[in-house]
Amino acid sequence: MPAAPPGRAAIVLVLLLAALTSISQFYRVSNSVIGPEVAAELGLSARDLGLAGGAFFLALLVAQIPVGIAFDRWGARATLA
C-alpha cells in the first residue's frame, strides 16, 4: 500500500483530532443537558448528579497515570495503536 502524501496525512490527522475533541466535549457537557431527565428517572438528587458528572473527570485523571507510563516505556505510537 503506497504511503499517503504528507499534506493529505496532515489533513487526516487534523480531522481525526478535531473529531476526538468534539466527542470529548460532548461527553463533558452531555450530563448537564440530560441531567434533569436522568435525575427524574433515577431519583437522583443534585448532589448525586454532580458526583456522576465529576466521575468522568476522575476517570480521565486516573487514566493519565497508566497512559503516561506507557508513553514513556513504549512510545506514543505503540501506546496509541
Query: What is the identity of the amino acid at 30?
Result: S
Please state the domain extents for the chain.
Answer: 6-80
Q: What is the reported pTM?
A: 0.51
Q: What is the pLDDT of residue 63?
A: 93
The CA distances from residue 4 to 12, 14, 67, 80, in Å, are 10, 15, 28, 20
Q: What is the pLDDT of residue 9?
A: 85
The residues near 3 (Cβ < 8 Å, ≥ 6 apart) are none
Give the burial string for 36-57 (b: 16+ CB within 10 Å, else e). eeeeeeeeeeeeebeeeeeeee
Q: What is the pLDDT of residue 4?
A: 60
Instruction: Please report, for the chain, how many H helices and E strands are present, in that order.
Output: 3, 0
The mean pLDDT values, 10 residues at a time, for the chain of 81 residues are: 73 93 86 86 90 85 93 90 80
Q: What is the pLDDT of residue 80?
A: 83
Q: What is the pLDDT of residue 10?
A: 87
